[in-house]
Amino acid sequence: MERMEKLEGRTRNNPYALACLDRGWMILPLRVGGKEPAIRDGFHGASRDRARVTDCWAKHPNLNVGVVTGAESGIVVLDVDGARGRRALHRLERAHGRLPATLRVRTGRGGLHLYFEMPDRPVARRINREFGLDVLADDGYVVGPGSVVGGGVYRVVEDEPLAPIPDWLLGRMLSGCWDPASSPRAPLNTSCKEVMTTRTSTRPGGQSTEQC
């Protein structure tokens, strides 16, 4: 399996799509410069078919790469959103210990995607604006490495095998409680409540003018 960090500087996203495919992940073409699916079936058009993926990016080489998260690909991604997310994660690591080495991708706007192995239980997709820490898991997808959004490139900064989710982090992911002063098993207090509700029934989708 080719290491993703060796793909840096290539002008087409096809190598990144194939590198993700080689890891057993479901791949979804996204619009050029955007995060929306670029196929008629939207989220449901994701595939592991190598010939289909190769043909798609051969026809549209500048498409971004989407990676389906959750049980379908066996991955959970912690989305650390900007300075707020970095501060929240730093406080949690001070309380619980450093996260293990794993695949890390810096987003186009300076955030961070931390990829982990999917545990043996469902993990819901959760968006939390208060702490800037989002969980991308079942019924979701993530913008993959090599993609370009708003002029910013999603770059691999740590190309390590996926680590299991530490117990303390899994507890936070399942509860939605990111306040280091609160236990994830305790009822959510005001500072822990999610600003956006957990979304498990609606999958991201979309229309596009580019079809594969």
Write out pLDDT tens, residues 43-74.
888 999 999 999 999 999 999 999 999 999 99
Pairing, β 133-136 against β 140-143 = unpaired
User: Which letter does DSSP use for residue 128 in this model?
Assistant: -
- Residue 19 phi/psi, 5° resolution? -65, -40
Q: What is the pLDDT of residue 204?
A: 57
Q: Cβ distance 26 to 72 under 8 Å?
A: yes
Q: Could you give the domains of the chain?
A: 4-179+188-192 (3.30.2250)
Angle of CA points 124, 122, 80, to nearest 5°: 45
Residues of the chain with pLDDT under 70: 1-13, 185-211
Q: What is the pLDDT of residue 183?
A: 75
Query: d(Cα 53, Cα 28) in Å, to the nearest integer?
Result: 9
Q: What is the pLDDT of residue 158?
A: 96
Q: Cβ distance 69 to 141 under 8 Å?
A: yes
The pTM of the full predicted model, rounded to 2 decimals, is 0.84
User: Which letter does DSSP use for residue 165 in this model?
Assistant: P
Determine the 3-state secondary structure of 186 from DSSP. coil
Q: What is the pLDDT of residue 43?
A: 81
Q: What is the pLDDT of residue 20?
A: 94
Structure tokens at 65: 């790469």
